[in-house]
Amino acid sequence: MKQKADLAVYQEETPRVGPPTDPDVLLDVRNLQTHFHVMDGTVKAVDGVDFSLKRGETLGIVGESGCGKSVTALTIMQLLDMPPGEIVGGEIWFEGRDLLTLAPEQIRKIRGADMAMIFQEPMTSLNPVFTIGDQISEAIILHQHVGKKEAMTRAIASLRAVGINAPERRVKQYPHEMSGGIRQRVMIAMALSCNPQLIIADEPTTALDVTIQAQILELIKKIQADSGAALLLITHDLAVVAETVQNVAVMYAGRVVEAGPVEDVLLRPQHPYTLGLLNSIPALHKRGRKLDVIKGVVPNPFRMPPGCKFEPRCPYAWEVCRRSEPDMMDTPGRKSRSRCFLHAAEGAARRYEFEKAAVATVTAGLPEAQA
């Protein structure tokens, strides 16, 4: 009986109703659920995701491949293929409106003008048969209601703003005439050309060479700071998160399992999955430590564990983790929250082992002088 009462203390608060009360909140995603109906059954790709983003703020979403990052982004932008996709529940409050209640026509107006997306592979979102000048100016004409000539002038200015040389010449080129790095700059110019309030970048540097990756990341940081837009950056790379964003949400099996300011989550991780991700960064192993890969694999979507979704891979799991599922819980002394029973009353004894391991990992990752 006591055990039950202890757990109840950490249950989620009563669901919020209506638009966010804080006017600074630009995007408020609540209990979002996106499923795919496929031959073998239903894949719960996004299974109760919550996060919010204030105006001008930067949030990273991080997690292994297949954990639902892209589907979360595509659901917000309403660019999902439906079917097989279906948004089965939740709310997406953006600028005071729940996007899931709007008509497709209203969504089209918002997409591209108020929120824009940068994809991993620009070739898939650029049209190969139109010049890039035509493609950028088309978006400007649609959303800013200016003439063709003025739109082209603005397109050239936006290419210059993302560091493209001789933009007057570039606007006449087709996507295949450019390198991957330049194409990604074009995508960023396109996303920015209508001054969006929110930029969603899904693995924007993953397809690029390492040196170009750093340049594109710098560019994204600069345009975010200059434009004051909020940035939702999706990546599997914790190093990118550490360099780019203020807040981070770690996703596993379609849920957020840890969220908070980047310095809390990366330097004082509170979830065994986050610790596993940190342990698998090569840079943390420069002093001869073996690279730890999180044991096991992401669970089969048709056979999810009944309790905590990370339980089959978690070195700290115990009986309660197999039986029930943790909610997000506050973590003492930190602004971050974690979906883990180590933060419930009956996890206290085990938490010490976890914290010892977390300190060892983070200390190993600090520069030599500080370690």
Question: What string marks each residue from 163 to 202 as x (binds ligand SF4 by CB under 6 A) or -?
Answer: ----------------------------------------
Minimum Å distance from CB 230 to ligand ADP?
A: 20
User: Which of these, 305, 285, 283, 286, lies nearest to 296 by C-alpha position?
Assistant: 305
Q: Count of residues binding ligand SF4 (CB under 6 A)?
A: 13
Q: State the Cα angle at 325 between 323 and 328, rounded to 5°.
A: 150
316 binds ligand SF4 (CB under 6 A): yes
Q: Give the CA distances from residue 75 to residues 80, 86, 164, 348, in Å, rounded to whole numbers and listed in that order.
A: 6, 9, 31, 37
Whole-number Å distance between alpha carbons of 326 and 140: 46
Instruction: Kindly state the tokens that stand for 109.
Output: 């107006």
Q: Which residues pair with 218 in a beta bridge?
A: none
Q: State the Cα angle at 157 between 151 and 162, rounded to 5°.
A: 125
110 binds ligand SF4 (CB under 6 A): no
Minimum Å distance from CB 264 to ligand SF4?
A: 17
Q: Give the CA distances from residue 244 to residues 110, 148, 222, 226, in Å, rounded to whole numbers and listed in that order.
A: 25, 36, 10, 14
Minimum Å distance from CB 245 to ligand ADP?
A: 17
Whole-number Å distance between alpha carbons of 285 and 130: 47
How many beta carbons lie within 10 A of that of residue 29, not counting itself? 23
- Pick the closer one to ligand SF4 by CB: 109 or 334: 334
- Pick the closer one to Mg ion by CB: 7 or 73: 73
251 binds ligand SF4 (CB under 6 A): no
- Pick the closer one to ligand SF4 by CB: 94 or 316: 316
Minimum Å distance from CB 273 to ligand ADP?
A: 13
Question: What string marks each residue from 66 to 95 as x (binds Mg ion by CB under 5 A) or -?
Answer: ---xx-------------------------
Q: Which does 36 bind (CB under 5 to 8 A by kind): ligand ADP, Mg ion, ligand SF4, none?
A: ligand ADP
By the criterion CB under 6 A, which residues form the site for ligand ADP? 36, 38, 43, 45, 63, 65-71, 81, 84, 301
Q: Please answer whether residues 69 and 251 qualify as being in contact, where contact means their C-beta atoms are separated by less than 8 angstroms.
A: yes
Which parts of this chain interact with Mg ion (CB under 5 A)? Answer: 69-70
Which parts of this chain interact with ligand SF4 (CB under 6 A)? Answer: 271-272, 308, 310-311, 314, 316-317, 321, 326, 340-342
